[in-house]
Chain A
Amino acid sequence: MYDMKALYEAKSVSHACELLIEHPQSQVIAGGSDVLVQMREGKRAGKELVSIYMLDELRGVTLDEDQNIRIGSLTSFSHITHDDIIQKYIPVLGEAVDMVGGPQIRNIGTIGGNTCNGVTSADSASTLFAWDAVVELTGPEGVRRIPISEFYIKAGKVDLRPGEIQTAILIPEKAYKGYFGHYTKYAMRNAMDIATLGCSVNVKLSTDKQTIEDARIAYGVAGPIPMRTKTAEAFVKGKKISKELMKEFGEKVLEDVTPRDSWRASKAFRCHIGEVMAERGLEKAVKRAGGEI
């Protein structure tokens, strides 16, 4: 039995917004794999909850007329992984969210919840950063869309205004077309774990596959919120593929990452593996894009 003050079940997106306005102290609950855990721990005990879990219209992956990928915020990790559109265009996102927790968590956990809790270790987040994802938010004043990098404000805090819920995550066609990626999760075990560091790399190669036309790299747990390492990205852009380039790319990453010391891992350790992960991640992304090293 959860220690909740009240449960309000939204019947539609607009109803959810109304409920949130009506109960300003309330907390949105999607799949609950974070909210309920925190409630059990006592952190959110006694709170009112607005459940959006039953809003099936927020589930599923679609391609819009402009070939942008639209992921409903309540789509579960396992459904993202198994989705045909994801597998065809951005399989790396499917792979990344297939590393969240364990299978049951991936059945209940939603991509919306994973991003709305503002946690840097979220397995989806670094990949969404790396793919220039756009977050769709629906509120009493309508719909607004913002880049995911602007959605995250600080640790545990995202740009959700009163009465707003996240309704979709969009990957624009220009962000994924021609790009190939790789996600590395560094954790202490191979399942049921949170990332010590997450690293998502994607690249676009020149037509002859010799040169990196564009590269994006994003980390989770390298700072208080997920982040891109722009210095390294700029550095490899337009460069010829080589083993040395991968190594240099890894070193450049250190100019941007700011992990912290914690009991989970030291800053020095996180920096060290961050470098290795960048190097290896870029290598794998290049190979996936058809390049040779």
Chain B
Amino acid sequence: MVVGKSVQRVDAVDKVTGRAKYTDDLCDKQALIAKICHSTIGNGKVLSIDTAEAEKVPGVVKIVTCFDIGEKHYFPTAGHPWSTDPNHQDVADRLVLTDRVRFYGDDIAAVIAEDEVAAAQAVRALKVTYEEYPVVLDPIEAMKDDAPRLHEEYPNNILNHTSSRFGNYEEAIKEEGLTKVEGWYDTPTVQHCHIENFICYAYQEGERLTVVASTQIPHIVRRIVGQAVGMDWGKIRIVKPYIGGGFGNKQDALYEPLCAFLCKQVGGRLVKLDISREETFMSNRVRHAMKFHLVSYVRKDGTFAARKFEAYSNQGGYASHGHSIAAKAMGAFPQLYPCENVECDAYTVFTNRTVAGAMRGYGMPQFAFAVESHTDDVAKVMGIEPIAFRKQNLMPVGYVDPFSKNELYTDSFNQCMEKGMKYIDYERKLKEYQNQTGDVRKGIGMSVFWYNTAVWPISLETSSCRMVLNQDGSVQIQLGETEIGQGADTAYAQMTADVLGIPFENVHTISTQDTDITPFGTGAYASRQTYVAGFAIKQTGLLMKARILKYAHELTRMPEYNLDIVDGNIVRTTDGRELMTLGELAKEALYSLEHCEHITSESTAQIKSNAYSFGCCFAEVEVDVPMCKIQLVDIVNVHDCGKLINPSLAEAQVHGGMSMGIGYGMSETLLYDEKTGKPLNNNLLDYKLSTFMDHPHLEAEFVENEEPTSAFGTKSLGEPPACPVASAIRNAVLQATGVAVNQAPLRPQVLFERFKEEGLI
């Protein structure tokens, strides 16, 4: 069995030698180069674009402005499975180019030129006149009656507002002897910062249009490109080669629609659209900044009597993934610490910030920062040690969520916390770091989370798989579920090897998705792939195996039920004798003059289940109070994501998520000019993504309770590691200094202001 073993990544060698080809590596150098003209206002209308000077730039092939797009095909960009129910479809509010500007950096025109210099010169030479409207950057401001309205159809800029109510909050708070703890918590706009920026190129062959793109979701992008350019979906082909990270940004149709449109504008010639880092920050997607208002009424014994949750989610200029993110955060609230009387409200509000979409954690890093900070605040007020308080209130074993039917089968929270405490020597340090004075203070803090796996029952969950037997007994496997760096291809190969009973080396995962030939699958998001593809692989593998054994029966005359495939051999189970190798069988099957058969299998697994994944983070910090600086001294994440398919790759996934969480907690924030909405730090120098020197050793540990609903006992791990980190750091700072910092990231400027307020400096 290879599932559970730390086998080498199937793509590792290609990636360290430069052989792995990414989009730009594949694009013909003769491609025309497209560059986008982005708006230099944050809200308003394009009145005119004078192209005269730009047309004169040598090498310019074509200039297309928002006034030249012809029939307006509004399209949604969210990388969600399509819904045939119009009420469940994503909001179609984008155009390939727009004259109505809704954020600084909106796409108003494009130049196609023979080279990048000419394209850039021509974009600079475009003369744009605007009618400018005031900008609004904050969701609560944007909800006010006098705020500028971004989309006519959405009064008060509210894209959506949902509520949930349990018990009777208003009555419950009247109970005697309750302590009220209330807080506002604020999370920043952050960006994914995959090292490969978004890039795509498009060309036409006959009536059909191909887009090669750095995307997580080729099959979804196919549909969206079709919608955006008004073509039949079958005439669109999306190819996804290796991609340099995605983290959710590429779970959106970014510029594939525009590139396809521009390609058509020049008669199907090859057009490349290579997005710069500055554009990535300004005009791709970001994580929703959220403001939370949390209220807890706590009994003397430390139990919750009633709780309130309000979230205001900053959507930016267009709907993208929209309210799904705030809704997910809201949904988590009554489940993490169940309480009989809960009131929840979540608002997703348009503002003139960068469009917010999916990003690793999908609402949960925001949720965890607010709720787990609040948990420590409550514990502090009640005088209860934070872990004891959590143990008392956390989702109990046996808890079932009525909506998702997710169940906490095992004592995962406690097991994870125990492991984390042990690693970081929690109890000793908690005591040691109490009541410190002096300039440099140490602190320890922690945070927990739960996370769903996949999107059922909110949305469709499906995965299709194809397996093809080669002459030598090896197998190709294809899935619509994509490799984006996380190691999916390797995990698929491991699962396939075990289902078929063949050596791992004999499974060839086709990494590239090509919507013309790759079975339908919706792609990389929602930490779904290992779980969902697992079903498709198991089902397709069993089908494949049955076909192989059927053929083996013809060759060996043994009944199929007495045959098995073990380590690439056809084995008679009654005595364990190896009757032939799978290679011998495959050769016979392909070349037999009597019965030739290309043995393949293909099937779709639609999944109607989901699973809770759990974990926690412990962080130890050293706070230099006068310098307003935090040094992260030690950190550990512990996860129960069920069975680990590949422990070493799982660990690596956790490291990356922790790193993203560290940035979220300590340094990353995309800043905007209040007056214009212009992003101020949209580059990798001014946006403070953690460097090699900003991390201590990252410890990743696991509790492996196999998930009973899962084909391979596994469940979500891709996104969870990013969720609990920022709040653990914040809580460690609280322990070190006694100062509750409710605004992430805890960057020096924020610490300076808080320390000053609290009289520490």
Contact = CB atoms under 8 A, between A and B. Distances in A.
To the question of whether A and B form a pair in one complex, the answer is yes
Interface of A: 1-3, 41-42, 45-46, 102, 186, 188-194, 196, 263-266, 268-269, 272-273, 276
Nearest to A2: B117
A186 to B, nearest CB: 7
B124 A45 contact: yes
A65 to B, nearest CB: 41
A266 B749 contact: yes
Question: Which of B690, B747, B752 counts the most chain A CB atoms within 10 A?
Answer: B752
B656 interface: no
B626 A102 contact: no
A74 to B, nearest CB: 23
B667 interface: yes
B120 A3 contact: yes
Contacts of A189: 667, 688, 690-691, 693-694
B680 interface: yes
B628 A269 contact: yes
DSSP majority for the A interface? loop
B693 to A, nearest CB: 4
A28 B759 CA distance: 50
A273 B752 CA distance: 9
Contact of A190 (B116, B117, B693): B693
B121 interface: yes
Given A1-B117, A45-B124, A102-B691, A192 B748 contact: no
A196 B748 CA distance: 10
A45 B691 contact: no
A189 B659 CA distance: 14
Given A266-B749, A269-B748, A192 B120 contact: no
Given A192-B691, A263-B681, A266-B749, 16 more contacts: A1-B115, A2-B117, A189-B690, A189-B693, A189-B694, A190-B693, A191-B691, A191-B694, A193-B685, A263-B671, A265-B749, A266-B752, A268-B752, A269-B628, A272-B752, A276-B626
Contacts of B12: none
A190 B695 CA distance: 10
B397 interface: no
Contacts of A265: 748-749
Nearest to A42: B124
Contacts of B115: 1
B627 interface: yes
A103 to B, nearest CB: 10
A193 B688 contact: yes
Interface in B676-700: 680-681, 684-686, 688, 690-694
26 contacts: A1-B116, A2-B117, A3-B120, A42-B124, A45-B121, A46-B121, A102-B691, A188-B688, A188-B748, A189-B667, A189-B690, A190-B691, A191-B691, A191-B692, A263-B671, A263-B681, A265-B748, A266-B752, A269-B628, A269-B749, A269-B753, A272-B626, A272-B752, A273-B626, A273-B748, A273-B752
B761 interface: yes
Nearest to A262: B680
B726 to A, nearest CB: 16
Contacts of B692: 191
B120 A45 contact: yes
A45 B115 CA distance: 15
Nearest to B626: A276
Interface string B105-136: 00000000001110011001000000000000
A102 B685 CA distance: 11
B761 A272 contact: yes
Given A188-B747, A189-B690, A263 B680 contact: yes
Question: Which of B278, B681, B691 counts the most chain A CB atoms within 10 A?
Answer: B691
Contacts of A1: 115-117
B688 A276 contact: no
Contacts of A191: 691-694
A153 B692 CA distance: 37
Contacts of A263: 671, 673, 680-681
Contacts of A190: 691, 693-694
Interface in B613-648: 626-628
A162 B749 CA distance: 42
Contacts of A273: 626-628, 748, 752
Nearest to A263: B680
B166 to A, nearest CB: 42
Interface in B715-760: 747-749, 752-753
Nearest to A188: B688
Contacts of B685: 192-194
B627 A276 contact: yes
A66 B645 CA distance: 69
Contacts of B747: 188
Interface in B449-477: none
Contacts of B627: 186, 273, 276
A66 to B, nearest CB: 39
Contact of B667 (A42, A45, A188, A269): A188
Nearest to A102: B691
A194 B681 CA distance: 13
A3 B749 contact: no
A123 to B, nearest CB: 14
Contacts of B121: 3, 45-46
A276 B690 CA distance: 25
A268 B688 CA distance: 21
B205 to A, nearest CB: 28
Contacts of A3: 117, 120-121
A194 B306 CA distance: 47
A112 to B, nearest CB: 21
Contacts of B690: 189
A266 B681 CA distance: 16
Interface string B255-282: 0000000000000000000000010000
Nearest to B33: A1
A6 to B, nearest CB: 13
Contacts of A196: 748
Contacts of A269: 628, 748-749, 752-753
A14 B685 CA distance: 36
Question: Which of A102, A189, A191, A273 counts the most chain B CB atoms within 10 A?
Answer: A189
A196 B688 CA distance: 13
